[in-house]
Amino acid sequence: MRIDAASALVAGGASGLGAATVRRLHAAGATVTIADLNAEKGEALAAELGDRAAFAACDVTREDQVQAAVEAAGELRIAVCCAGIGWAEKTAGKRGPHAFEPFETVVRVNLIGTFNLLRLAAAAMLAGEPDADGERGVVITTASIAAYDGQIGQIAYSASKGGIVGMTLPAARDLAAAGIRVCTIAPGLFDTPLLAGLPDEARDALGAQVPHPSRLGRPEEYGDLAAHIVENPMLNGEVIRLDGALRMPPR
Distances (CA, A) of 87 to 106, 134, 158, 206, 211: 7, 41, 10, 18, 26
CATH number of the CATH domain containing 171: 3.40.50.720
195 and 203 Cβ atoms separated by less than 8 Å: yes
172 and 239 Cβ atoms separated by less than 8 Å: no
Domain membership flag for residue 245: no
Domain membership flag for residue 221: yes
Domain membership flag for residue 187: yes
Residue 211 is predicted with a pLDDT of 95
Domain membership flag for residue 159: yes
* Average of per-residue pLDDT across 61-65: 98
Residue 90 is predicted with a pLDDT of 96
Q: Which of 157, 216, 222, 235 is catalytic?
A: 157
Whether pLDDT at 192 is above 90 = no
* Average of per-residue pLDDT across 225-246: 98
pLDDT band at residue 175 using 50, 70 and 90 as cut-offs:
very high
Domain residue limits at 213: 7-240
Domain membership flag for residue 199: yes
Residue 105 is predicted with a pLDDT of 98
pLDDT band at residue 199 using 50, 70 and 90 as cut-offs:
confident
Domain membership flag for residue 251: no
d(CA 245, CA 250): 16
Comparing CA positions, the residue from 164, 81, 165 lying closest to residue 122 is 81
240 and 37 Cβ atoms separated by less than 8 Å: no
**Range with the largest mean pLDDT of 144-148, 188-192, 195-199:** 144-148
Q: What is the full DSSP assignment across 89-117? A: B-SEETTEEPPHHHHHHHIIIIIIHHHHH
Whether pLDDT at 198 is above 90 = no
The strand pairing partners of 183, in sequence order, are 140
All residues at 6 or more sequence positions from 109 whose CB lies less than 8 Å from its CB, including other chains: 60, 61, 83, 84, 85, 160
Annotated active-site residue 148? The verdict is no
Cβ atoms < 10 Å from Cβ of 5? 11
* Average of per-residue pLDDT across 5-15: 97
Number of domains in the chain: 1
Domain membership flag for residue 249: no
The strand pairing partners of 142, in sequence order, are 185
Domain membership flag for residue 70: yes
Residue 151 is predicted with a pLDDT of 94
1 and 233 Cβ atoms separated by less than 8 Å: yes
* Average of per-residue pLDDT across 17-42: 98
pTM as predicted: 0.96
